[in-house]
Amino acid sequence: MTKVPSHGSAEPDPRVKAGVRIAPSILSADFARLGEEVRAIDAAGCDFVHIDVMDGHFVPNLTFGPPVIRAIRKHTAKPFDVHLMIDPAQPYLAEYAEAGADIITVHAEADTHLDRSLQVIRGLGKQAGVSLNPGTPETVIEYVLDRLDLILVMTVNPGFGGQEFMPGQLEKIRRIRAMIGRRPIALEVDGGINAGTAPLVIEAGADVLVAGSAVFRGNDYRATIDALRPSIASGVPPARVAG
């Protein structure tokens, strides 16, 4: 796993991006062929494998636990981008780290001691992320920016795949990009991402796109992934998240 660099100047530079990485969400994969699906998106050129962990409490759905993550870990060397939609998250961080997570993202809304959880994740040798629901303002992460490797903006209400993109979140993405400035923090967006909405979030400042239905509903994973990832020149190094 790439070593986490020290954070640099916070001078805003919202238009400069270092390329776009794609993280297909296996929430939309065929669960009966999960290992095969992971191998397929790896071969198709994905950058991360996005794993949505839901507890039926913080969000109204149940999905993957550590045993599933451990079972599919052997099918790819690509970083596992594990999004914990669970409350509480802190007691389970070590389990997900041991199961094979490379990036562990917790929700600001589900973590009373967010700073502590981010320290725990880093202490486990993993990259630390925080996620914000659509109704949560970006100001809640202002004082933990230097603990972060990734910020995940939800552009749907979490819990289910296949929902429609919420365009009102674009301004939040812009504001977070300005907050990040030149820090090497990845700005990830999840929810309703497809060939139509990807350019909007990229223009707003996103550099990691989570796509579930858009990737897995078709037969040509590579074509979909390539269509979501334009080539963007940049003078700023990319955030060093797990790659």
Q: Which residues are catalytic?
A: 52, 190
Q: Angle of helix 34-43 relative to helix 221-228, nearest 10 degrees? A: 50
Nearest residue to 186 (alpha-carbon basis) of 100, 98, 127, 115: 127
Q: How far apart are CA 194 and CA 176, in angstroms?
A: 21
Cα 162 to Cα 154: distance, rounded to the nearest angstrom: 13
Q: Which residues does residue 84 pair with via DSSP β-bridges, in sequence order?
A: 53, 106
> Which residue is associated with the tokens 């451990």?
70
18 within 8 A of 206, measured Cβ to Cβ: no
H/E stretch holding 94 reads helix 93-99
Burial of 113 (0-12, 13-18, 19+ CB in 10 A): exposed
What is the H or E stretch that residue 37 is in? helix 34-43
